[in-house]
Structure 1
Amino acid sequence: MTDQIAHQLDQIDLSLIAELRRDGRASLSELAQILGIARATVRLRLEKLQDRGVIRGFSVVLSGDGHKAPVRGLVMVGIEGRGADRIVRHLRGIPEVEAVHTTIGRWDLILEVGAQSLATLDEVLAKIRSLEGVTTSETHLLMTSKR
């Protein structure tokens, strides 16, 4: 969520988003009860958040998804010149690259990657490093996730 959008959200919107993150299947009635507002207000707020692009969609997390990619990591990537758009297009074509984030600072991109094994991760890293315009990278393996 961009800072501009975040400034446009009030406490009800933020609470609604938090509840949907906690339970994306909650009914409008359940959300209304939790938030202490009318069901119609929840529906209207939800529609406005979707129309404005704050909420872009909903997804399903399957029980096996936590084990889909047992080897996970963050890959910081440095790029030379102005090839970032081309590189991002290539990265999106690599199935193990789950997310691409642009950054400000030492690194140009931070990638979330997931692989079935260290050998597969090594192959993915080789693909990333071989892209024209990628000058440097650094990889951090994720050990456990705490919530």
Structure 2
Amino acid sequence: MDEVDNRLLAALRKDARASVSELATVLGLSRTTVRSRIDRMRARGEIVGFTVVTKGDAAQAPVRGIMMVEIAGRGTEKIIRQMQGMSEVSAVHTTNGRWDVIVEIAVDTLEVFDAVLHRIRQLDGVTASETSLLLSTRKHA
């Protein structure tokens, strides 16, 4: 997968019902390019389906956490795109202060959570991180 595929996945995560024409406009690509990339990712098994996520479904990812990430140099946008392409990443926030990016992660098991942390820490330009598990949610927007 390349940067364009990651951007396409991020757009589909935001709105899986978006038409190929809408996706092409958002990404600045032709409809043919968008369609062929979606088809190729489906054929490779990187996209295994399209679905609706309800509030109740979110509870099926019981291991949730936030990861604060420090990034060296000017690679922030590239790293954000790479993280947005990870299915386990539910949100990526830029911020000020000590950390450059805060990542929300939602998975089924601690083992998967650990693997996601490892993948993010291995991204070129990530220099430090701190992670906290979310134990309960009292209010959700």
Give the TM-score normalised by structure 2.
0.59
Letter in structure 2 aligned against 1:114: A
Q: Are positions 1:118 and 2:110 aligned together?
A: yes
| RMSD of aligned residue pairs (Cα, Å) | 1.3
Residue in structure 2 matching 1:99, options 80, 91, 94: 91
Cα deviation for residue 62 of structure 1 reads 2.1
Aligned-residue offset at 1:65 = 1.7
Q: Could you tell me which residue of structure 2 aligns to residue 79 of structure 1?
A: 71
2:67 maps to a residue whose letter is V
| Runs of 4+ displaced beyond 3 Å | none
In 2, the alpha carbon distance for the partners of 1:64 and 1:109 equals 28
Deviation at 1:61, TM superposition (A): 5.7
Q: State how far apart, in whole Å, the 1-side matches of 2:57 and 2:121 are.
A: 27
**Cα distance in 2, alignment partners of residues 79 and 122 from structure 1:** 20
Could you tell me which of 35, 52, 62 is aligned with 2:54?
A: 62
Q: Classify the secondary structure of the residue corresponding to 1:136.
A: strand
Q: Alignment identity in percent?
A: 52
Tell me how far apart the structure 2 counterparts of residues 93 and 63 of structure 1 sit (CA, whole Å). Answer: 22
Between 1 and 2, higher relative CO (CA 8 Å, sep ≥ 6) is seen in: 2
Count of equivalent residues? 88
Question: Of the two, which has the highest radius of gyration?
Answer: 1
Q: Which runs of 5+ in 1 are unaligned?
A: 1-59
In structure 2, how many angstroms separate the alpha carbons of the residues matched to 1:141 and 1:130? 20
TM-score normalised to structure 1 length: 0.57
The alpha-carbon deviation at position 67 of structure 1 amounts to 1.7
The one-letter code matched in structure 1 to 2:116 is: V
Alignment of 1:136-147 (within 5 A): 136-147=128-139
Unaligned runs of 5+ in 2: 1-51
- Report the 3-state secondary structure (helix = DSSP H, G, I; strand = E; otherwise coil) of the residue aligned with 2:80: helix
Cα deviation, 1:58-108, whole Å, max 9, x if unaligned, reads xx7625323231100000000000000110110011100100000000000
Give me the whole-angstrom Cα distance separating, in 1, the residues matched to 2:86 and 2:58: 20
Of 112, 123, 126, which aligns to 1:131?
Answer: 123
